[in-house]
Amino acid sequence: MLNLGDNKINHRLKMEDLKSLQMTTSTSVTKKAKKVALWTLVILLVVSFLPWTQNIRAKGLVTTLQPSQRPQTLQSVIAGKIEKWFVKEGQFVKKGDTILFLSEIKDEYFDPQLLSRTEDQIKSKESSVIAYMEKIKSLDNQIDALIKTKAIKLEQAKNYLKQAALKVQTDSIDWQAAITNYSIALEQNKRMEKLYEDGLKSLTDLESRKLKLQETQAKKNSAENKLLSSRNELLNAKSELNSIDNQYKDKLAKSESEKFESMSNMYDAEATVSKMQTSYMNYTVRNSMYYITAPQDGFITKALRDGIGETVKQGEPLVSIMPSKFDLAVEMFVDPNDLPLLHVGNEVRFIFDGWPSVVFSGWPTASYGTFGGKVVAIDNFTTENGKYRVLVAEDKAEGEWPKQLRVGSGAQGIALLNNVPIAYELWRNLNGFPADYYTPEKVKEKEKKNYDNTKDANEK
């Protein structure tokens, strides 16, 4: 029954009547199925060792690489009233082109001749500054003249004081001589009286001697009086010297006080001129702010305020503009769990909204319709959605991005990481493990090592 010998009984039995036997008997179809299963297992085994590129997928938006190239809104620096529009939405404008004109709404700026009047005030105040400077110069000259006059007067007073001192000395000598003469005359008169008493001299001689004594006494008194007068003159000379010094000190102090007062007024006038010049420049700059101009070449996308005659506040947005020249980039948002796997310089493949593509995330070279990029910046803090923003720029070596791309378009990014076998990747996903952590430096060292090994093998 097992058909193990040479005498088989298969041809003697009706197999269609024996269903159980049919189930245990191998047929050509079963053999084919076994071959297919075997080859499938072999293929899966081979495929499991094929390389697979680990990746991180994240959504993002098209933006620009430079902040100055992104869409911007133009604000009104001053409060005003819209008088005239010079552009329409969608129009291309060059840098410096006028977009709209505002008129003044604040009463302190209503005067149409405000600049000329302010300039006249500045000139008048500058003239006051010049006048104060001239007055200061005159006071300086006056102070110099007083100093010179004081020196001359003091020299004269000192000379007069010396003369008075010498005169006192002379009169003192004369007074001493008069005293001596009076003493001699007095002794001679005494001797004359005795001689008269003795009868040796006549009365006439005695009277003559008394007269001479009186004359000598008169000269003594006159010399003393003259000495006292000279001493008074000396005291007057000293007093005059002090008086001159005090008098000119007072005059100098008064002139210097006037000088410092003029200097203070001049500094006040200069401060006023500086303040008025600042106001004049502010008025000049404000006049230039009535015209809102384009900061760079671009397209007017939307007018945020409409109509004529509407008033706008300071800092209120008026119109949005999109620069005409920009370098595209993509800002994609990754989970905090994937952030340590990304580094500046990582390769990223993008699928842009509106562009057909066939993607094999593990085999980026086999994908179609994707575009290359490189990570240029990674934020150090999370955004409002709890993810980290990664900025990716265009990779010129991988080809240019579509010219029709616009800022704000959607993009799906695939950040390329390590190359691992498919079996390892399946095992990692089944166990919920993250992608392998690596750094670009380690990858470069590994590639360099492989290149060196290949080069040595070729040389051998």
Name the residue with tokens 């009277």: 207
Name the residue with tokens 């008074």: 232
Tokens found for residue 238 = 């000293």
Rounded to 5°, angle at Cα 421 from 418 and 426: 100
Residues of the chain with pLDDT under 50: 1, 360, 362-363, 366, 443, 447, 451
Question: In this structure, what are the phi and psi dihedrals at residue 50, rounded to the nearest 5 degrees?
Answer: -70, 150
Contacts of 31 (CB under 8 A, 6+ apart): none
d(CA 407, CA 287): 35
Which strands form 92-93's sheet, in the order they lie side by side? 72-75, 317-323, 298-303, 92-93
Cα 352 to Cα 322, 368, 375, 383, 447: the distances in Å are 21, 12, 17, 22, 31
The pLDDT value recorded for residue 168 is: 86
Residue 75 bridge partners (DSSP):
317
Q: How many CA atoms lie within 13 A of 36 on its CB side?
A: 6
Q: CB of 181 within 8 A of CB of 216?
A: yes
Contacts of 457 (CB under 8 A, 6+ apart): none
Per-residue pLDDT of 400-411, as tens digits, reads 888 888 888 888
Tokens found for residue 332 = 């994609």
Q: CB of 354 within 8 A of CB of 403?
A: no
d(CA 48, CA 73): 55
What is the sign, positive or negative, of the torsion defined by CA atoms of 161, 165, 171, 172? Answer: positive
Question: In this structure, what are the phi and psi dihedrals at residue 402, rounded to the nearest 5 degrees?
Answer: -60, 135
Nearest to 135 by CA among 270, 271, 262: 262
d(CA 74, CA 80): 14
Domains (ranges, CATH) in the chain?
1-47 (no CATH), 52-68+326-459 (2.40.30.170), 71-104+290-322 (2.40.50.100), 114-288 (1.10.287.620)
Nearest to 323 by CA among 57, 56, 94, 130: 94
The pLDDT value recorded for residue 366 is: 46
Radius of gyration of the chain (CA): 60
On whether the pTM is more than 0.85, the answer is no
Q: CB of 244 within 8 A of CB of 178?
A: no
Nearest to 406 by CA among 353, 448, 458: 353
**Alpha-carbon dihedral angle through residues 382, 385, 387, 391, given to the nearest 10 degrees:** -80
358: DSSP letter = B
